[in-house]
Amino acid sequence: MFGSQHLWALSISLVLFIAIPIYAKQKLNPSQQDRFGAVIGFLVMGNYIVWVGLELIAGTFDLKLHLPFHLCRFANLIIPFVMLKKNFRVYEVLYFWGFSGMFQAAITPDISQAFPHFHFIRFWIGHNGLILALIYATVVYEMKPTIISLKRAFIGLNAFFLLTIPVNLILDANYFWIRGKPVNDLGEHIPSLLDYLGPWPWYILSAEFVALAHFAVAYLPIYFIKKRNVT
């Protein structure tokens, strides 16, 4: 964490976050913008599907590890509804999930392999690719969340949490880090924000308040943009 490759990945991602939406907004016509957005959406979704497919081919697929019951994986699967269909209900939820959970994951990546290992590339496409898609939808498609969107995203987060509980119990898994704090693919503990939120299970309750705070911070840029447009 925060080694040279991590910092390079963050730096490249930041450049893409700025350059791609600006290029699409200024240089592409609406039809081209839609096609470009579709490519981003399918890339992010396909990244997870390809990973699962490779695990199946290699005989290493594990129901405890590879199902879409981590927030990022589920978000990867449904992002095409935003990028192809411009579905606002999906966008407003993923906006807050992406700019809180995915951003946090990018700061504390749960991988042990370095570039050019597949898992290194897979991780950054799955997390920062999703953030890029959401920025693209916000800037190019001009989709904007509302305060009601924040509430829906928080309700959706808790619905996902409740859905994951029986999955973990049935499979003896640890999806969504409900039964223990994050570990990498080698089973090694990963430093994360959860380390500062108390022991299990109290960090789960603390994380509720942290998530709500993250959602509020994620909404601030939208708030100021709307306020500026009004004035």
How many independent structural domains does the chain possess? 1
**CA–CA gap between residue 118 and residue 104 (Å, rounded):** 21
pLDDT at 204: 92
CA dist 80 and 199 (Å) reads 37
Strands (E), the chain: none
The tokens for 86 are 């411009």
Q: Which of 96-100, 110-114, 126-130, 167-171 has the lowest mean pLDDT?
A: 110-114
Indicate whether 67 pLDDT > 90: yes
User: Do residues 147 and 154 make contact, with C-beta atoms less than 8 angstroms apart?
Assistant: no
Q: What residue numbers bound the domain in which 38 lies?
A: 4-230
Answer yes or no: are the C-beta atoms of 95 and 218 closer than 8 Å: yes
Give the pTM. Answer: 0.91
Residue-wise pLDDT for 166-201, tens only, equals 999 999 999 999 999 887 666 677 777 788 788 888
Q: Cα–Cα distance between 12 and 17 in angstroms, integer? A: 9
- The model's pLDDT over 209-225, given as tens digits with 9 standing for 90+, comes to 999 999 999 999 998 88
pLDDT value at 230 more than 70? no
With CA atoms as reference, report the closest residue to 67 among 83, 48, 88: 48
Which is nearest to 101 in space by CA: 139, 74, 82? 74
Q: Do 138 and 82 form a contact (C-beta atoms < 8 A)? A: no
